[in-house]
Structure 1
Amino acid sequence: MLKNYFKTAWRNLLSNRIFSFINIIGLTIGLSSFLLIALYVFDELTFDHFHKNTDNIYRIVERKTFPGGKTERATGAGFQVSERAKTDLPEVKDKARLAMWGRANVTPADNQANVFYEDFIIGNPGFFTVFSFHLLYGDPNSALTAPNSVIITEESAKKYFGTSNVVGRSLLIADRDSVPFKVTGVLKNFSANSSISFNLMVSEASILKNERTKKFVADDWISGTFSTYFLLNDNAEIAALNTKLDRLIAANHKSSPDFKSNIQLQALKDVHFYSTDIEGYTVKKGNISYIYVFLIVACFIILIACINYMNLSTARFTSRGKEIAIRKIAGASRWGLSKQFLIETLLATVLSVILAVALVNLVLPAFNLFTEKDLSINLHTDYRIWLGVAGIIIVVTLVAGLYPALFQSGLNPLSLLKSKVQLNRSHISLRRVLVVFQFTVSIIFIAATIIIYRQMQYVNKKDMGFDKDRLVVIDINSGKVRGAAETIKNEFEKLAQVKSVTVTSRVPGEWKNIPSIKVSDKINNAASENDMYFLGIDNQFLPTYNIKLLKGRNFFARGKVDSSAVLINETAAKELGIINVTGQTIKIPLVSNGGDFDKLDKPYVVTVIGIVKDFNFQSLHEPLAPMVLGFQNNPIQSIDYFTVKLAGGNIDGTVKQLDAIIHHIDQGHLFEYHFLDQQWDLLYHNDKIRQTIFFVISLLAIAIAALGLFGLTTYTATQRIKEIGIRKVLGASISTIVMMLSKDFLKLIMVASAIAFPIAWLVMNKWLQSFAYRIDISWWIFILSAMAAVTIAMATISFQAIKAAIANPVKSLRSE
C-alpha cells in the first residue's frame, strides 16, 4: 500500500510539472537558507565543546572595581594563583596557564633565510591535561616540560619546514637567548570553533630559567599576565570556589583599600559568547543575540516556504477535484486520502532537501570564506546535523502538507464533481493571514537591510577627525629598527612618493591594547584622577594624520626638550577643566596595558603644550574618549610603528623601497605593513557580514513570498474564472479586471506593512544602540520597504491577473 502511495505521488508530481516545480523550488530555497544558517548556528553553539572535559573547564576572570565605582573585567591572573590553587584547593584537579610574552622573529635553524614574525605564547604542561587538543607527533606528557621546548601546529610546521613531522628539529627565536628551541610536538590545526588558537607555544620552563622572570612569578598574585584555566572535579561548587580563590589572593597580597577585586570563574563553554566585555586573551568572541536572531530568521524562512506550499497545494485543488471525488466514491477514507497527500508533500520535501544539500555544498566555499568558518555537510558531518535534517523533513512535511491534506480530503465528492465547492470564511481568512505573515517578515528584512546599509555608509563617510587614506603603517619588530627610527624616517622622507613620516606607539584603529593612564591636574592630590588613553607620537603625527591643532603648539622636531610635554584632545581638556594651555601641568602616576594599573617608578609630571581636535582612535561602536599624546621619549610606552603618508603613484614599488631601507638597518627584520583604511574597515567586519546576510535573506524572503502570492493569485483567478468571463462579455477592460484581482492582495500588503513597521523599528533601534555614533531611523525607510514589497507583489500578481483577463470568455462560460 505504501509503495502505491509513493507511485501515485510521483505520478502527480510529474503530471503537474509547473506546480511541482514551483513547490520544489520554493522549498529548496527555504531549506537551503535554513541549512546554511543552521550550520553556522550549530558551529557557534558548539564552540569549545570538542574538549573531553568541557563541562569541567573554567577560566579565571577578574572583576575589578576602581575608585569612583568604575568596574571592568579581564581574563588572566597572577602566576601564584593557579600554582597554589592546585595544591591548596581540592576542587582543582589541574591547571593550564597561557601567557602572551610579546612577539618575535622565528627562523628554522637549518634555513635561516626564512623569517616569520609570530606571537610568543607560553604554556605549561597542564595544557594537554586540561584540554583535548590532538598532538599529531610528539608525546603530550613531555612536550611542554623541558626548557627551550616548543610545540607548533601542523600548518606552522609546513610553513617553517615544508613538512608535518618535524619533531626534533629546531627553531631560532630572536631575543630569546641564542639557544635553539627544539620542536617537541606538532598539533593538529585548531578547529575554527576553538576560542584558543596559536601558531607556536613555548614551554613555560623556558622563561622560568631566567632569574628575573623567576623572581617576578615567585610573588605574582595580581599581574593578570597568565590566562588561567582550571580542570575541576565533577562536584565542584563554582560560587564557593570563587570565594576560596578571593581568600587565597587576599591572604597573600595586600591590595589598595580603594581598589576591589574578586574572581569569577567562567565556564569554557561560555567563553565564546560571554566575553565581549572581558579584556584579555580570547581569540574569537561571538554574540549570542545574533544567534537568536539567526535562529528566528531561519525559522521564518522555512515557515514562509511551507506557507507557499500550502497556498499552492490548496490553490490547485480544483484541478484534482474529480480525482478526489472518484477516490472518495470508490471507498477511500479521509485518512487514506490524507496519507496520500502527506506522502506527496514528503516526496516533494525529500527532493527539495536533496537539492538543498547539493546547493549548500556549492555555496559553502564562498560562505566559509565570507564568515571565516570551516563548515561542511557530507558523510563526515556531525551526526546531530543529519538528525536535524531528518527532523526538518518531518516538520516541513507536517507543517506544509497537513492543512492541504485535511482540507482536500474533507471536500464533498458531489460538489467536486459539479465544480460547486464553496469555501467557508475560515479557509479564506487563513490564506490572508498567511500572506500577511509572509510580507510582514519580508518588509522587516527589507527595512533591516536598508538601515544596516545606511549605518555602514555613515561609518565609512563620517569624519573621524583624521585622514586615513594612503597611510601605510609599518610595524617596528626589532630593537635595531627602534633605535635607528630617526635615520629610517629620514631615508623614508627622501623617497619621491613619500609626503611625510611619523613614529608612534599605537595608531588609530589599533588592534592591540592602547595603554590607559590615570591623570590628575592636581600635582599633590590624587583625588581627581581621570581615566584616559595614552599615545606616544612625534612632531609629524599631526600633519601625517591631518589632525587639527586647536590651541598651543606642536612638539619640536628633535631633542629631549619635549620629553615632559604632552598634547591632549578636546575631551581630555574638558574633563581636566583646561581652557588655556599656558602653564598647565598634569600628573600621570599609574598606567595599565590591559591589566591592573601599575605605579610608574615616579609620577610622570608633564606640561600641556597644546589641545588637538577630537579624533576617533577606536571604532564608532565606542564613544570618543579622553586622550593624552606624549612625546616619543616617554616612560609609558616606546614607539612601535612608522606611518608613511604616500603621495600616490607606484604604491607597490614604494612599499618595496620602504622594505629595503629597513632591511639595510636590520637584515633579520620581518617587514609587516598594512594600509590604515583597510585595517579600519576590519573594525566593522562583523557588521558588514550581517549586512550581507540580511540582504541575501531579504531577497530570499521576498522571492519565496512572491511565489506564495503567485499561488494565491492562481487560486483566485481559477475560482473567479466565470465571473471574469461575464465581466468581459459585459465590457470590462483588462485593467479593470487586473485591478479587481489585485486590490485584495494590496490591502493585505498594507496590513503587513502596518505590522512590520513598529517591529522593524524596535529591532533595528536596538541594533543601532551598539554604535556610539549612529544614524536616525527615518520614516521614508519604511515607506520604501513597503513600496518595494508592493512593486514585487504587483509584478507577481499582474502576470497571472493579465493572463486571466485576456483569456477568451467563451471558453470559461461554455462549460457552465
Structure 2
Amino acid sequence: MLKNYFKIAWRNLTRNMMFSTVNIIGLSVALISFLLIAFYVFDELTYDRFHKKADNIYRVVENRKSLEGKERKVASTNYQLTERAKADLPEVKEMVRLGGFGRTNISTENDQNVFYGEYWTSSPQLLEVFDFKLLQGNKGTALAEPNTVVITAEIAKKLYGTTDVINKTIKVDDSIPYKVTGVLADFPSNSQLSFDLLFSETSLDGELRQSFTSDWSSTDFTTYFLLDPGADIKGLENKLTRLVADNRKVGTDKSNYLLQPLTDVHFYSGDIEGNLGKTGSITYMYIFSAIALFILLIACINYMNLTTASFTRRSKEIAVRKVAGALRHNLVAQFLSEAVLTTFISLAIALVSVKFILPAFNEFAGKKFTLGAGTDYRIWMGIGIIVVLVSVLSGIYPALFQSGLKPLQLLKNKIKVGKVNISLRRSLVVFQFTLSIIMIIVTLVVYQQMKYINKKDLGFTKEQLLVVDINSGSVRRNAELIRNEFEKLAAVKNVSITSRVPGEWKNLRKVKVADRQAGTAEVNEMYFLGVDDQFLTTYEIGLAQGRNFIHGSMADSASVMINQTAAKKMGITEANGQLIEMPFSAKRPPFVARVVGIVEDFNFQSLHEPLAPMVLGFRSNPVQLIDYFTARVDPQNMAATIKQMEAVLYKIDPTHLFEYHFLDKQWELFYADDKVKQTIFLAAAALAILIACLGLFGLATYTAQQRIKEIGVRRVLGASMQSIVTMLSKEFLLLVLVAALIAFPIGWWFTHQWLDAFAYRVEVGWWIFLTAGLLAMAIAMLTISYQAIQAAMANPVKSLKNE
C-alpha cells in the first residue's frame, strides 16, 4: 500500500510540473536557508558544552564597587583568592587560573619562523578540568614544570612543519627557551577559551611570583572553579566575598564575588569586562531562529495554497476512489505521501546545495561547519524532525480538505469553494507578505545604520593612518629618533607617538580624576591616552581651547589636555592650568597634572558607545607607556612606503617583526558582527520574497486558468487588455496592501529594538515604510503581471470553443 501511495504521488508530481516545480523550488530554498541558520544557531547554543564537566564549571566574576560608589563587573580576580579558595573551601574540587601577560616574540630554537604570540599562563589543572583534545603529551603533567609550553597543532606546523614536536624548544623574546610538552588539537569554533600557546604558570619568574603572595586586589587572573555537584552557589559566593574582605587592605575598592556558570558565559557577559572569548547575543539567536522558521513556514503555506487552490484538477480521481470504497484515512495518507515525497526531493536538493555553500558560509560566519558522517547527530535528528513537520504542516490541511468532499459533487463537477477556504488562502498570502515586508523594513534600516556609521564624522580623520606597533624596549627608547626618520620619508606627512589609538583593539586605560582646586571629593572615571605634540595634527583633531603640548618640553610631562566631554563633566570652561589629580594606589602618590588644553570631542570607541570623558597626557606621563607610532601617509605606492618604514625600524631593532595596521580597517572590525547581521537580514528578506512570489505566481496562474472562459467572454464583449490585467491583479495587490499595513508597526518595533544597541543611530523615517510597501507591491505586480497579460492576450475563440 505504501509503495502504491508513493507511485501515485510521483505520477501526480510529474503530471502537474508547473505546480510541482514551484513547490519544490520554494521548499528547497527554504530548507537551504533553514539548514544554514540552524547550523549557526546550534553552534552558538552549544558554546562550551563539549566539556563533560561543563555543568559544574563556574567562572569567578568580581563585582567591584569603588569608594565613589561606581560598580563594574570584571571577569578576573586576584591570585590569592584562587589559592585560598582551593585550600579552604571544600566545595571547590579544582581550580584553573589563567594569566595574560601581553604579546611576545616567538620563534624556533634557531630563530626561524618568527611571529608574535600572546603570552598566556595556566595552572596545571586546565587540561584535566576542560576537555580540550591533546594530540601529544600528558594532560596531568604538560603544564606542571617551569619553562614548558603547550601549543596547538596549527602553531606546531607553523614553527616546525609537523605536529611531532614534543620535547622540541621554542624561544620567547629571543632568549628564554621553553620545552614543548603538549600539542593541542585546534580549538572548536564554539569555545570561549582559545590559545595558540599556553605556558606553565610556574614559568613566571621569581620576582613576579613573589608579588602574587600578597595579591588580594588585582584583576590579573581569569579563574574557573570545578565545583561539587551539590555545592550551594550563593553560599559559596558569600564565602569568597568574606575571604577577600578579611584579607584586602582597608581603603581599597569593595567587592563581592559571583560564580557564573560556564554555559552562561557566551550569552550573558555583555556587562562584564575582560571576557576572553567572543560574546554572543541570545536575542539574535531567537531572531535568527524565528527567521528560519518563518521562511520554512512561508514555503509550507505555498504548498497548502497551491494544493487547495488546484484541487479541482483531481476531483474525478477523488470521486472514483471514494465510489470504489476508499476510506477517508486512505485519501489522507495518499495526499500526505505526496507532501512527504515533495519534501524529500526538496531536502535532497537542499543538502547538496548546502554541501557546496558551507565553505563560503564558514568563512562568512567564522565557523567550522561540516555536513557529512562527522556532523553532530543532533543536527541529523533535527533535520529528520523538520522533514516530518514540514511534510505534515504542508500536507495536512489539503489532505483533510480534499478527502472530505462528497463523491456526487465531485462527479457532477459542482464543487463550491467555500468562503472559509478562500479566506484561508487570502490570509496565508497576507501572512507571507507581512513577513516579507517586515524583513524589507529591517534590512533597509540596518543598511541605513551601517551607511551612517561609515560616513559619520568621528572628530578625526581615520583614513590613511598607518599604525605601527612598538614591540620592544629598544624601539621604545629610540622612539623619537624613529619618528624623525619616518617623517623624512616622502610619503609620510605626519607621525605621532601614543600609548593607545582611537579605535583601540586592546584596551583603553581608565583613570580616576579629581579636580584638586574644586574643593569637592567627587572623583570621575575617565579614559586616558598618552600622546605627543604631533597627535592633534596627525589625527586632524581640533583644539577647542588652550594650547597643545610643546615638543621636547620636560614641564609638559606633568601637563594634560582633556576633551570637551571631560571639561563639561568637571565644570572647566577654560584651560588655564587647573590642577587635577589621578590617584594610583596606596603605595604610589597620585599623578598631579595641569590642564593646558581642551580638545574637541572625537570618538575613540565604537559608535555603540556614547562619547566618554578623556584625559590626554603627554607621552612621558607616569600612567601608561607609549606603544604605537601613527603615520599619516600618502596612499600612492603604499607598499613601498611600508617597506621603507620597516627598514627604519629594523635599523634600531632587527630581531622583532614590523607589525602594522591601517586604522580605518581596525574601525571596521567594530561593526563586523553588525555587517554579518545585515547580510543575514538581507538574505532572509530576499528569500522570503522569493518564496512568497513563487506562491503568488502559482496562485495567479491557477486563477487565470480558472477564469479563462470569463476572460474570453469579457474580451468578446470589448474589454481592454488593461482592464483584464487590472481585474486579475487587484485582488492580490489588495492582499499585499493589507500585509503592508500589518507589517509597518511590527517592523517599527523590531528596528527600534536593534537600534537601541547604538549610541549614535539613524532616525527611522516614514519613507522606509513607504519604500518597503511599494517594493513589495512592485514585486507582487511583476510576479502576477506575466500570467495576467498572457491570459488577457489569449485568443477568446480558443478559450470559448469548449463551452
The alignment's TM-score, normalised by the length of structure 1, stands at: 0.97
Preserved CA contact (<8 Å) 2:68 2:522:
no
Residue 813 of structure 1 pairs with residue 800 of structure 2: yes
Note the 1:579-598 alignment, pairs <5 A. 579-590=573-584, 598=585
Q: Which residue of 438, 444, 458 maps to 2:438?
A: 444
After the TM superposition, which residues 623-642 of structure 1 pair with which residues of structure 2 at under 5 Å, given as runs?
Answer: 623-642=610-629
Taking the aligned partners of 1:742 and 1:248, their CA distance within structure 2 comes to 75
The answer for the alignment partner of 1:165 in structure 2 is: 164
Cα deviation, 1:648-670, whole Å, max 9, x if unaligned, reads 21001110111111111111111
Kept in 1: contact 2:269–2:275 (CA 8 A):
no
How far did residue 417 of structure 1 move? Answer: 2.9
Using the alignment, how far apart are the partners of 1:206 and 1:739 within structure 2? 81
Cα displacement string for residues 517-537 of structure 1 (whole angstroms, at most 9, x for unaligned residues):
111112595611111100000
State the secondary structure of the residue aligned to 1:563.
Answer: helix
Displacement, 1:221? 1.9
User: Could you tell me which residue of structure 1 aligns to residue 455 of structure 2?
Assistant: 461
Q: CA deviation at 1:539?
A: 0.5
Structure 2 distance, partners of 1:552, 1:681, is 33
Q: Are positions 1:7 and 2:7 aligned together?
A: yes
Whole-Å Cα distance in 2 between the matches of residues 812 and 67 of structure 1? Answer: 88
**Is 1:750 aligned to residue 737 of structure 2?**
yes
Counterpart position of 2:214: 219
Task: State the alpha-carbon separation in 1 of the partners of residues 657 and 198 from structure 2.
Answer: 20
Distance 2:734 2:397 in 1: 25
Contact 1:315 1:714 (8 Å CA) reproduced: no
Alignment partner of 1:772 is 2:754: no
Deviation at 1:211, TM superposition (A): 3.0
CA–CA distance in 1 between the matches of 2:716 and 2:176? 100
Which letter does structure 1 place at the counterpart of 2:190? N
Deviation at 1:312, TM superposition (A): 1.5
Q: Distance in 1 between matches of 2:573 and 2:515?
A: 13
**Residue identity opposite 1:180 in structure 2:** P
1:125 is matched with which residue?
A: 124
Is 2:173 aligned against 1:186? no
- Residues 686-725 of structure 1: matches in 2 within 5 Å? 686-725=673-712
Could you say which residue in structure 2 is the equivalent of 1:271? 265
1:720 positional shift: 2.4
Which residue is equivalent to 2:313?
319
Match of 1:53?
A: 53
> Shift of the alpha carbon at 1:812?
3.3
CA distance in 1, matches of 2:674, 2:121: 33
Instruction: Return the match for 2:488 from 487, 494, 508.
Output: 494
Q: Does 1:543 align with 2:534?
A: no
1:379 to 351, 373, 377: 373
Q: Structure 2: which amino acid aligns with 1:758?
A: P
Which letter maps to 1:124?
S
Contact 1:523/1:587 (8 A) holds in 2: no
Matched residues in 1 for 2:344 and 2:250: separation? 65
CA contact (8 A) 2:517 2:578 kept: no
Q: Offset of 1:600 from its aligned partner?
A: 6.9
Q: How far apart are the structure 2 equivalents of 1:333 and 1:736?
A: 46
Look up the match of 2:398.
Answer: 404
**Distance (Å, rounded) in 2 between the aligned partners of 1:314 and 1:380:** 41
CA distance in 1, matches of 2:290, 2:207: 55
Quick one: which of 224, 229, 237 aligns to 1:229? Answer: 224
CA distance in 2, matches of 1:526, 1:600: 23
In structure 2, the partner of 1:201 is: 198
How much has 1:281 moved relative to structure 2?
Answer: 3.6
Deviation, structure 1 residue 254: 3.4
CA shift, 1:236, in A, is 1.0
Number of matched residues? 803
Whether the aligned pair in 1 keeps the contact of 2:499 and 2:624 (CA below 8 Å) is yes
The question of 1:241 aligning with 2:236 is answered: yes
Contact 2:610 2:759 in 1 (8 A): yes
In the other structure, the counterpart of 1:413 is 407
Amino acid across the alignment from 1:58:
Y
Deviations 1:273-301 (A, max 9, x none): 11122111422111111001001111100
For residues 503 and 481 of structure 2, what CA distance do their matches in structure 1 show?
A: 27
> Partners in 1 of 2:715 and 2:328 — Cα distance?
39
Aligned to 1:738: 725
Counterpart amino acid of residue 139 in structure 1: N
2: CA distance between counterparts of 1:459 and 1:532? 24
Who is 1:145 aligned against? 144
Instruction: Provide the C-alpha distance between the structure 2 equivalents of 1:526 and 1:160, rounded to a whole number of angstroms.
Output: 58
- State the partner residue of 1:593: none
Alpha-carbon deviation of 1:726? 2.0
CA distance in 2, matches of 1:558, 1:69: 40
Amino acid of the structure 1 residue aligned with 2:301: I
- Which of 458, 472, 479 is residue 485 of structure 1 equivalent to? 479
State the 1:320 CA deviation.
1.8
The separation in 2 between residues aligned to 1:543 and 1:332, in whole angstroms, is: 88
Deviations 1:718-761 (A, max 9, x none): 33233222222221111111111111111111111111000010
Q: For residues 169-210 of structure 1, give each alpha carbon's deviation from its aligned partner in whole angstroms, at most 9, with x where no partner exists.
A: 0011117xx441100000111000000001101100111xx3
Could you tell me which runs of 5 or more consecutive residues in structure 2 were left unpaired when the two chains were aligned.
none
Q: Partner of 2:521: helix, strand, or coil?
A: helix
Match for residue 595 of structure 1?
none
Deviates more, 1:715-724 or 1:299-308: 715-724
CA distance in 1, matches of 2:487, 2:586: 38
Cα distance, 1:79 vs. partner? 1.0
For 2:351, the aligned partner's letter is: V
Tell me which residue corresponds to 1:656. 643
Task: For 1:18 and 1:70, locate their aligned partners in 2 and report how far apart those are by CA, in whole Å.
Answer: 67
- Find the aligned partners of 2:6 and 2:484 in 1 and give their Cα distance: 81
Alignment of 1:288-687 (within 5 A): 288-522=282-516, 527-590=521-584, 598=585, 601-687=588-674
Letter in structure 2 aligned against 1:657: Q
Partner of 2:44: 44
Matched, 1:793 2:780: yes
* Other structure's SS at 1:62 match: strand
For 2:140 and 2:401, the matched residues in 1 are separated by 67
Q: Distance in 1 between matches of 2:553 and 2:542?
A: 23
The 1:281/1:137 distance shift into structure 2, 3 A limit, reads same
Q: Residues 505 and 639 of structure 1 are in contact (CA less than 8 Å); yes or no, is this contact kept in structure 2?
A: yes
| Corresponding residue number in structure 2 for 1:727 | 714
Matches of 2:183 and 2:266 in 1, distance apart? 25
Which stretch shifts more, 327-336 or 285-294? 327-336
- The letter of the residue matching 2:677 is R
> In structure 1, how many angstroms separate the alpha carbons of the residues matched to 2:76 and 2:688?
45
SS at match of 1:623: coil
Distance in 2, Cα, partners of 1:464 & 1:700: 36
The answer to whether the 8 Å contact 2:22/2:695 transfers is no
Of 525-534 and 649-658, more deviation after overlay is shown by: 525-534
The one-letter code matched in structure 2 to 1:588 is M
The CA distance in 1 between the partners of 2:191 and 2:634, in whole Å, is: 42
Per-residue deviation, residues 306-359 of structure 1 (Å, max 9, x unmatched): 001111212221222222222222222221111111001101101111111111
Answer yes or no: is the 8 Å Cα contact 2:336–2:391 preserved in 1.
Answer: yes
Q: Mean Cα displacement is larger for which, 650-659 or 313-322?
A: 313-322
CA RMSD of aligned residues (A): 1.4
Q: In structure 2, how many angstroms separate the alpha carbons of the residues matched to 1:78 and 1:747? A: 66
Q: Where does residue 63 of structure 2 map in the other structure?
A: 63
Identify the residue that residue 72 of structure 2 maps to in structure 1: 72
Alpha-carbon offset, residue 54 of structure 1: 0.5
Contact 1:238 1:265 in 2 (8 A): yes
The superposition leaves residues 737-794 of structure 1 with CA deviations (integer Å, 9 ceiling, x where unpaired) of: 1111111111111111111000010110111111000000000000000011000100
TM-score by length of 2: 0.98
What amino acid does structure 2 have at the position aligned with 1:162? G
Residue 113 of structure 1 aligns with which residue?
Answer: 112
What is the CA deviation profile of residues 539-565 of structure 1, one whole-angstrom value per residue up to 9, with x for unaligned ones?
110000000011111111114221011
State the 1:235 CA deviation: 0.6
